[in-house]
Structure 1
Amino acid sequence: MILHDFLPSGNGYKIRLLLTLLGKSFDLVEHDITKGETRTPEFLSRINANGKIPALEFDHGRVLVESNAILIHLAEGTPYLPTDVWERTEVMQWLFFEQYDHEPTIAVLRSWVGIKGMPEHADIFVPMKRAGAKKALDLMEKRLSGHNWLVGDALTIADISLYAYTHVAEEGDIDLSIYPGILAWLDRIAALPGYVPITWKP
């Protein structure tokens, strides 16, 4: 397998983390999104017509894109995706929440602060993003203040997906110290056998 990725990306890190937890070997091909390397004709025609990473290229030639779709595919038949229908659906709920409420606020703030720089009219957009980030983290804290994991009693791809940008939220000037449940959850994931940090590459 070949993972097309940008190392600072939380969306790419989700895949790297799950692959290592599963003990699967893969090659990493890096594309610098800040230099337009996912917008080249070759990338758009061969890897992802939407011009985004991550993209997971399989040995048979097929390419799967969208980080949470990749997580679902890789987790099929493993403990990271429950077989119980209700718990499986709860995992999906968190994955949709991650892409709709969490990533567009926390990941965007991190990108503005540490990667791409502030946008025009930051005085308007930043407070809006911070309010959205707080709402997302408050919801996670409500669950994690009384439970070890987001779904059921074990780690799932819901945790992996939401961990990716939550654990680097402070790079977007988001204070996590007010969320003890989230902090304890972050520590549990970082202590997993096979855990790798976002900067790791094979």
Structure 2
Amino acid sequence: MSVPVLYCNRESGHSYKIALALRLMAVPFEQRAVDLNLPREQRGEDFRAASLFGEVPVLVDEDGLAVCQSNVILDYIARRYGKLDGRTPAQRTRVREWLAWEANRLAMSFPHLRFSRCFAPADAALEAWWTQRMRADFDRLDGELRARPFVAGEAPTIADVSCCGYLFWTDQAGVDLAPWPALVAWLERIRALPGWLAPYDLLAASPPIRSDARA
């Protein structure tokens, strides 16, 4: 295998995290789109063999090692290629603290709200709960970004890639970022990084998600 293979979906912010990180690292890779409308047991055999949990994204590296879960993949490629990581052990630890925070907080709020408003509507109580959590998460992130240009310090890292994964889609969920100006400025700094591309410009085409899709 000459380049890593990324199994992904165009509507998946977790897939976008990995594609964006690889692009910012200038690591060539191949994309293989996964149809999330299909039940997991009907998805491609090569994908099912690589994906421990039947979910996207999965990265199969040049040596054939398959790695799943987006923040684990980010950690893996930062260490493998020596890019987008902290410069000291303490900084690298802080980066991984933010990866854990994103998985527990941000990934549990806005992505669900977007999915409800774009693909499979949830009930009002769930949307209200996701919205409340999202606002708290955006408050937390905005507060950090008032003190420094990037999430974990002065330079971009995989922590920024993780936290921004879904935030270029806020318009799809009808979320106005005006109350969080530091967050908005941070997204602009990410857009200015060499190699940045928006999700739909970067990710390979895949079948549109139906309301009964199971990610």
Q: Normalising by structure 1, report the TM-score.
A: 0.91
Which sits farther off after the overlay, 98-107 or 72-81?
72-81
The one of 82, 86, 91 equivalent to 1:82 is: 86
2-side partners of 1:38 and 1:3: how far apart? 17
Does 2:150 match 1:149? yes
3-state SS of paired residue (2:199): coil
1:30 to 30, 33, 36: 33
In 1, the alpha carbon distance for the partners of 2:48 and 2:15 equals 20
Amino acid at match of 1:88: R
5 Å-filtered alignment, 1:130-169, equals 130-169=131-170
Amino acid at match of 2:90: W
Distance in 1, matches of 2:65 and 2:40, equals 18
Post-superposition offset of 1:38: 4.0
Q: Residue deviations 1:56-88, cap 9 Å, x none?
A: 112332211010111111111524111412211
- Residue 152 of structure 1 deviates from its aligned partner by 1.6
Aligned length, in residue pairs: 198
Q: Which runs of 5+ in 1 are unaligned?
A: none
Work out the CA distance in 1 between the residues paired with 2:39 and 2:64: 21
1:157-198 Cα offsets, whole Å, 9 max, x none, are: 100111111222232222211111000000000011111110
Task: Measure, in 2, the Cα distance between the counterparts of 1:128 and 1:84.
Answer: 38
In 2, are the aligned partners of 1:146 and 1:181 still within 8 Å (CA)?
no
Aligned to 2:207: none
For 1:69-148, what aligned pairs fall within 5 Å after superposition?
69-76=72-79, 78-114=82-118, 116-119=119-122, 122-148=123-149
- Higher RCO structure (Cα 8 Å, ≥6 apart): 2
d(CA) in 2 for partners of 1:161, 1:146 = 19
Counterpart-to-counterpart distance in 2, 1:83 and 1:184: 24
- Unaligned runs of 5+ residues in structure 2 are 205-215
The structure 2 residue matched to 1:19, chosen from 2, 9, 22, is 22
| Normalised TM-score (structure 2) | 0.86
Percent of aligned positions that are identical = 26
1:79 and 1:144 map into 2 onto residues whose CA distance is 21
Q: Determine helix, strand or coil for the equivalent of 1:70.
A: helix
CA distance in 1, matches of 2:18, 2:39: 20
Q: Deviation at 1:43?
A: 5.5
The C-alpha deviation readout for 1:10-39, integer Å capped at 9, x for no partner, is 100011111111111111110121x12644
User: What is the root-mean-square deviation of aligned Cα atoms in Å?
Assistant: 1.7
Q: 1:65 aligns to what?
A: 68
Residue by residue, what CA displacement relative to the aligned partner does 1:122-154 show, whole Å, maximum 9, x if unpaired? Answer: 121110010000010000010112211111210
Match of 2:50 among 47, 51, 56: 47
State the SS of the aligned residue for 1:4. strand
